[in-house]
Amino acid sequence: MQNTQPDARWQSLTAMFFDQATKMASKPLLYAKSGGAWRSRNWTETAEEVSKLAKALEALGVVAGDRVVIISENRPEWLIADFAIMAVGAITVPAYVTNTARDHLHILENSGAKAAIVSTKSLARTFLKAAHQSDELEHTITIEEVKLEQQVNVEVHHWDKVLSAQEADVAHFARRAKDVSRHDIACLIYTSGTGGAPKGVKTHHGSILHNAEGAIEIFRGLGLDNNVFLSFLPLSHAYEHTAGQCWPLTIGAEIWYAESLEKLATNMAEAKPTVMVVVPRLFEMLRTRISRAIEKEGGTKAKLFGRAIELGTKIAKGERLNFKEKIENIFLSLTVRRKVNNQFGGRIKALVSGGAPLAPDVGYFFEALGLPLLQGYGQTESGPIISVNPPAAPKAHSVGTVFPNTEVKIAEDGEILVRGELVMKGYWRDDKATAKTIVDGWLHTGDIGKFDEDQHVVITDRKKDLIVNDKGDNVSPQRIEGMLALEDEIAQAMVYGDRKPHLVGLIVPDAEWLRGWAKDQDKTLDGIDLNTDPDLRKAIDAAVSRINHRLSNLEKVRRFIIADEAFSIENEQLTPTLKLRRHVVGELYGERLEKLYHRAKA
């Protein structure tokens, strides 16, 4: 399938930025909290800081083609650093703030970075351990001043000092931006490493602009003026980098930086965003939190809420309401749905979900509450967006329609193949992996999917994550895991069973449910052995059985063990965007999962 739109507007990200800065001038652009109050930078101020940092980088010897690493939480300086690096023709290398020193060293050695920009003292301590071992890194700029107790093999500079030493020259870098091509590499974005060592994806200016221009066409009907984005997903991830930073710039939107996940609800009420870029796991958590709060209140509020979900889901599925239901639904929109929408700031035009599959039930839940949740699809190697549900015709079971100027076809084995400007230039210093992934110009996504009757893309599974049982049948683990995690008793799950006669599972009980269950059983959590307590296993087994009733025989989870702890970023069992690192979890629990099969034989 091919989707085409008019030719692009800008030749590079930097040309776009400086062009927009000239047009927007004193209009606010970036907001961040300082001393408990939101403070803004307008377009002119931001462009001046970009030009100062660009001159500072050149003074340190950074030239076109050099790689510069950014390690920072989401904040205005992240964007300023990104565009300053590109302004001198260098290549941005984003790195996760959750990286270990070992992770940083891999990126430094693989990218051959000459310089780095690090935000906090804490992040600098971890990074400098890697920097000290790097042969090629020469300079590190820290946003917070860092005092070294011991000399390291890299020069450390303070952000304020290097900027204050330079005069702004926006016009100079705006002129230079005209010489940058859409084919030039803008950034090396390292994959999250769900299946092994991260690879650097060579993302060119045209790839990100292709995504931004496509989003403009698809979301034009929502109104492209006066938009506010609340940024909280890691900017080091391709999804937030493109959809939460570069796309807002192309439409002249404001970007507000959330303080943390814990303060997200407060920040939504303060920023009143119109667009939020999100991952499914956040919605799963919000759905659970909202539902439990309503259950605790009980009474009329719980009944009205349940009815709002019921009628809203019918509408989302395209079913018609009778006259009485229509009147009832209007009342629910003015009461229940308005209250929920106000918790998101009251101005949401679109919540765009990506990064992992979204369970249809979760999509219907938020649609039923009047929040437009639009699932999209893509990967780092494609800029990253390939498709998204159009606001006028969303379908919760799909990942939407193909982006403008993008070709998608389904291979004979069901794999989704993509071609167009959005496709990466390859993996950094890895021609072998590049040749396997891009064949005859087609990006092999590794995802299995199809087109439905309305030409919406439907993802059925990740090709490399497919479980093939001992009879050669394919089973989708992500679908089963998503269903299990929606049960009240279960927070997370991993399905196991490649080359086995049936599936077994690893279950993480929901912490809040577990506390309530223990209280009802007159037990203390400290005194419970999660894997041997018969009452607990019976309760979890009941939840697994409910899901098994909805699954085919191939998909049923026959036995399970309970995990020692939740999958998290900190224990490296989740990527920073909350994807399961199957190889890590498999190595940790593999022996115990294998014993489930031996026990079955006995």
**Cα 449 versus chain centre, distance:** 20
In this structure, are residues 506 and 496 in contact, taking their beta carbons and an 8 Å threshold?
yes
Q: How buried is 102 (Cβ within 10 angstroms: 0-12 exposed, 13-18 middle, 19+ buried)?
A: exposed
Whole-angstrom CA distances from 428 to 47, 185, 202, 436, 481 are 30, 11, 6, 14, 33
Instruction: Using the predicted structure, report yes or no on whether residue 356 has a pLDDT greater than 90.
Output: no
CB 246, CB 212: distance < 8 Å: yes
- For residue range 194-217, list pLDDT tens digits in order: 455 789 999 999 999 999 999 999
Q: Which two tokens stand for residue 564?
A: 């020692």
For the cut 60, the answer to whether the pLDDT of residue 7 exceeds it is no
Of 37-41, 315-319, 418-422, 438-442, minimum mean pLDDT range = 315-319
CB 307 within 8 A of CB 358: no
Q: How many whole angstroms from its chain centre is CA 439? A: 27
The CATH code for residues 466-601 is 3.30.300.30
From the list 68, 62, 95, the residue with the least C-alpha distance to 81 is 68
Tell me the β-bridge partners of 561.
506
Whether the predicted pLDDT of 6 surpasses 80? no
| CA within 13 Å, CB half, 303 | 3
* Residue 284: predicted pLDDT: 82
Of 81, 149, 90, give the one whose Cα is nearest residue 114.
Answer: 90
How confident is the model over 254-263, as a mean pLDDT? Answer: 94
Query: Which 3 state secondary structure label does DSSP give 145?
Result: coil
Structure tokens at 587: 């190595």
The answer, yes or no, to whether residue 8 has pLDDT greater than 90, is: no
Per-residue pLDDT, 288:
85
Q: Quote the CA–CA distance of 68 and 563 in Å, as a whole number.
A: 39
The CA distance from 376 to 395, in Å, is 11
Helices vs strands, H then E, count in the chain: 21, 27
pLDDT at 599: 64
Return d(Cα 593, Cα 595) in angstroms, integer: 5
pLDDT at 534: 92
Cα–Cα nearest to 185, from 277, 275, 66: 66
Identify the CA nearest to 93 among candidates 192, 17, 190, 194: 190
Residues with Cβ within 8 Å of 8's Cβ and at least 6 positions away in sequence, in order, are 182, 206, 209, 210, 213
Q: What pLDDT, on the 0 to 100 scale, is given for residue 530? A: 84
pLDDT band at 1 (very low <50, low <70, confident <90, very high): low
* Beta strands per DSSP E along 109-224: 115-118, 139-142, 155-158, 185-190, 200-204
Cβ–Cβ under 8 Å, residues 511 and 530:
no
Helix/strand/coil for 492: strand
Q: What is the rounded end-to-end Cα distance, in angstroms, of the chain?
A: 52
Question: What number is the average pLDDT over the span 177-203?
Answer: 87
User: Residue 279: its pLDDT value, please?
Assistant: 85
Whether 466-601 and 2-180 are alike in CATH topology: the answer is no
Torsion sign, CA atoms 9, 15, 17, 21: negative
Q: For 484-526, what is each residue's pLDDT tens digit?
A: 998 999 999 999 998 788 999 999 999 999 999 999 988 888 8
- Match 């009147």 to its residue by tokens: 327
Query: What mean pLDDT value characterizes the chain?
Result: 92
β-bridge mates for residue 410, sequence order:
416
pLDDT at residue 344 greater than cutoff 90: yes
Q: What is the pTM of this model?
A: 0.82
Q: Give residue limits of the domains in the chain.
A: 2-180, 466-601
Structure tokens at 56: 């500072």
- pLDDT confidence of 4, banded at 50, 70, 90? very low
Q: Over pLDDT 70: what percentage of the chain?
A: 96
Whether the CB-CB separation of 488 and 513 falls below 8 Å is answered with yes
* 427 within 8 A of 437, measured Cβ to Cβ: yes
Q: Are 27 and 42 spatial neighbours (Cβ–Cβ below 8 Å)?
A: yes
Mean pLDDT, rounded, for 92-114: 94
What CATH fold (topology level) applies to the domain 2-180?
Answer: Rossmann fold (3.40.50)
Vertex 184, ends 181 and 186: CA angle to 5°? Answer: 115
pLDDT at 26 over 70: yes
Structure tokens at 139: 């300079």
259 and 231 Cβ atoms separated by less than 8 Å = no
Tokens of 275: 């667009």
Residue 565: burial class (beta carbons within 10 Å; 0-12, 13-18, 19+) = exposed
Helix axis angle, 170-177 relative to 13-24, nearest 10°?
140
Read off the pLDDT of each residue in 424-443 and give the average, rounded to a whole number. Answer: 96
What's the DSSP call for residue 500? S
